[in-house]
Amino acid sequence: MAEEEITLKVQRFDPAADKLPYWQAFKVEIKPGMTVLDALFEVLNHQDGSLSFRFCCRAGVCGSCAMVIAGKVRLACETQVSQFQESGEVMLSPLPHQKVIKDLAVDYTLFFDRLKAVRPYMVGREPYPEREYIQLPKERQPINEPIDCILCGSCTASCTMAWTSTDYLGPAALLKSYRFLVDTRDSIPDERLDIIESERGVWRCHTQFNCVEVCPKKLNPTEAIQRQKLKLFKRKLLGRGRAKPTARKGK
Ligand code: FES
Q: Does the predicted TM-score (pTM) go above 0.85? A: yes
Ligand 1 contact via 64 beta carbon (within 6 Å): yes
Q: pLDDT value at position 248?
A: 53
Query: Is 77's C-beta closer than 6 angstroms to any atom of ligand 1?
Result: yes
State which ligand 1 atom lies nearest to the alpha carbon of 60. 4
184-212 burial, b at 16+ Cβ within 10 Å, e below that, comes to ebbebeeebbbbbbbebbbbbbeeebbbb
Ligand 1 in contact with 65 (CB < 6 A)? Answer: yes
Question: How large a percentage of the chain has pLDDT more than 90?
Answer: 89
Distance from residue 87's CA to the centre of ligand 1 (Å): 25
**Does pLDDT of 243 surpass 80?**
no
Atom number of ligand 1 nearest to Cα 62: 1
pLDDT digits (tens, 9 = 90+) for 9-45: 999 999 999 999 999 999 999 999 999 999 999 999 9
Percent of the chain residues topping a pLDDT of 70: 94
* Per-residue confidence (pLDDT) for residue 3, from 0 to 100: 60
At 1 the pLDDT is: 47
Give residue 244's pLDDT.
52
For range 78-88, the mean pLDDT: 95
Residue 91 CB–ligand 1 contact under 6 Å: no
Atom of ligand 1 nearest to the CA of 61: 4
First to last CA, the chain: 49
Q: Please enumerate in sequence order all residues whose Cβ is within 8 A of that of 113, keeping only pairs 6 or more positions apart, or say none.
A: none
Q: How many helices and strands, by DSSP H and E, does the chain display?
A: 9, 7
Which pLDDT value is given to residue 224? 98
Q: Is the CB of 57 under 6 A from ligand 1?
A: yes
Mean pLDDT of 88-95: 97
For the Cβ of 63 lying below 6 angstroms from any atom of ligand 1, the answer is: yes
pLDDT at 79: 98
* 158-216 pLDDT tens trace: 999 999 999 999 999 999 999 999 999 999 999 999 999 999 999 999 999 999 999 99
Give 48 or 244, the one with higher predicted confidence. 48
The pLDDT value recorded for residue 187 is: 95
In angstroms, the CA 190 to CA 184 distance is: 13
Find the 54 Cα to ligand 1 centroid distance in Å.
Answer: 8
Q: Looking at ligand 1, which atom is closest to the CA of residue 75?
A: 2
pLDDT of residue 169: 98
Report pLDDT digits (tens) over 42-82: 999 999 999 999 999 999 999 999 999 999 999 999 999 99
* Nearest atom (ligand 1) to Cα of 150: 4
251 has a pLDDT exceeding 60: no
Average pLDDT over residues 124-142: 91
Which whole number is the average pLDDT over 107-126? 96
CA of 152 to the centre of ligand 1 (A): 8
What is the CA(74)–ligand 1 centre distance, in A? 10
Flag whether pLDDT at 246 surpasses 70: no
